[in-house]
Structure 1
Amino acid sequence: MSSSKNVVFDIVGTLVCYDYLYDAIDRRLGDRLRAEGIKPYLLGQMWMETAEREYTNLSISGRYQPYGTVFEALFYRILFMGGIKEPREFASPADLEYIMSEYTGLTIRPGAAECVQKLRDAGFTVWAFTAGDLTRVGGYFAKAGVHMPAENLLSCDSAGVGKPDLAAYKPLLDRLMAENEGKKPWFAAAHMWDVSAARTAGFKGAYCTVLENEPLQQLFGDMDVIDDTLPGMADKIIASQAS
């Protein structure tokens, strides 16, 4: 089946990177964490990954909660799981408030703006589909000067079904296929679990290794496009469309 000129992007982790948040953890708790033998970056990664798991678990069990709510609620549990025996003595509510406020400051990943522009210049319509809230995620684009029309920015919060539940992808997939004579849209992400689920749901899949490095195709299956950079991924989507 041929593909349409629509590309749906995951946002946080793909076009937006986590480094600013991890740096905020380091600024606020770094010395305390290192005294306990804990790397701030690794704690941040553990926190993010655990939040994604619990967000998904709540969604598939019919108890959806917004991702940011889940992420914030897990803070003290993550400290405990990281080896801090008395998390609420180790870190204050003000520490958590600071880190959460900095969460809104995440930055566009290098190459992300070029990737989006390449696709638009080639005639593609770019969509954004996030597990985050629209205000926060829309702010990332606005701060970076990357135009993202409000009507093209979508959140799992709207339907209360989280990725990678196949039902999360289906409404947008059905809409874009109906509007484009049954042609498959693309889904692009730096999370292999995300793009592989979207591909299972019916999208064409484009994966960038910039976040995870290892595609692990033995677990997640093949992709239509894989590249190590976001602009390179865009080039391959464009070339695939032309072939």
Structure 2
Amino acid sequence: MNPKNTLNKRVLVTGGASGIGAAIVQRCRRDGYTPVVLDQYGEDSIICDLTDPESTVSALKLALQEGPITRLVNNVGAVFPNTLTEQTLDEFNAAIALNLRSAFLCTQALIPGMRQSNFGRIVSISSRAALGKESRTAYSATKAGLQGMTRTWALEEGRHGITTNTVCPGPIQTELFDFANPSESPSTKAIISSIPVQRMGTPSDVAHAVSFLLDNNSSFITGQSIYVCGGKTVGAIHD
């Protein structure tokens, strides 16, 4: 089945009511898709608790009542900043539940419809922190886990016309970033000064990369991680 000839233009976006997710939703609309948002709030969202498997599965069943959804953006996430010695088990488990398990459940639910359509686009929002960052034990573990799942899914699902990739934001100006990186903190100032393009990223920068990977024409790109980080993953500006 050629996706260009179908009426299925829906995109499931988790955590699409604010921040990067809201920018992705806005870009999807601009690209001609119909976003279906799963979030804990939002006027146009299917309300659910993405940390809770039963709530997530119920929301997914509701989203799929109108038929398969062949594009998915696993965007929802939270940081839980803490050092290794201070990170609590509750924080670690919460990070796994929201950042990693929700992506597993959403992808698993949508895969049958994608296989039936012989077409699918899965984009998961990872992070530059997957490469390592202080005070990010739980966060970096789950974001690196997204990349590992993505590579595995690429191997399993490519034969079905399904691509699966991650977009890995660096410093992006959002409420989540501000919460984890207080503006007056020396470490926050160091982050901003170390970005090669000399500016913070915006949610629309991330949404642009997601849009590229959701496109029909991105069928030969799978299992990849695209860093939207202003060059911060390349190395240090100053020795």
TM-score (norm 2): 0.40
Structure with the greater alpha carbon radius of gyration: 1
Point out which structure has higher relative CO (alpha carbons under 8 A, 6+ apart): 1
Q: Which protein is richer in helix relative to its size? A: 1
